[in-house]
Amino acid sequence: GNSVTQMEGPVTLSEEAFLTINCTYTATGYPSLFWYVQYPGEGLQLLLKATKADDKGSNKGFEATYRKETTSFHLEKGSVQVSDSAVYFCALRMGGGADGLTFGKGTHLIIQP
């Protein structure tokens, strides 16, 4: 079956540090890939997405590139802020599948001032 693997953390960084959260996937075919963010007490919000190989998704200073050859979709940000503290989920969706997204277990990110 399809699956997503990401580091669970917590990942603790200082403000203005460079962020990488690794995400790799296993899928039979070529999925669409997503990063969602969840702030405390809230639902999940779409952060960025990529629907085909070599696409780069970007939003709010975050970026991720769909790498088919390494089956990866790593999340990066050049300079994190305290307000980026949240849980980040990597997810995939197979085209045409009505059964939604397959999620990784989430990475808890803590940014210290």
Partner 1 sequence: DAGITQSPRHKVTETGTPVTLRCHQTENHRYMYWYRQDPGHGLRLIHYSYGVKDTDKGEVSDGYSVSRSKTEDFLLTLESATSSQTSVYFCAISESTTGNTGELFFGEGSRLTVL
Which residues of this protein are in contact with partner 1, per CB under 8 A?
Answer: 8, 32, 34, 36, 42-46, 49, 51, 89, 93, 95-101, 103-106
Residue 19 vs 90, nearer CB to partner 1: 90
- Burial call 66-83: b when 16+ CB within 10 Å, e when fewer: beeeebbbbbebeebeee
Residue 17 vs 53, nearer CB to partner 1: 53
CB proximity list for 95: less than 8 A, separation 6 or greater? 29, 30, 31, 32
Task: Please state the closest distance from residue 21 (CB atom) to partner 1, in A.
Answer: 14
For residues 36 and 59, give the distance between their C-alpha atoms in angstroms, rounded to a whole number.
11
Amino acid occupying residue 11: V
Task: Please state the closest distance from residue 79 (CB atom) to partner 1, in A.
Answer: 26
For residues 63 and 57, give the distance between their C-alpha atoms in angstroms, rounded to a whole number.
6
Task: Please state the closest distance from residue 45 (CB atom) to partner 1, in A.
Answer: 7
Task: Please state the closest distance from residue 47 (CB atom) to partner 1, in A.
Answer: 10
Residue 6 vs 77, nearer CB to partner 1: 6
Residue 8 vs 16, nearer CB to partner 1: 8
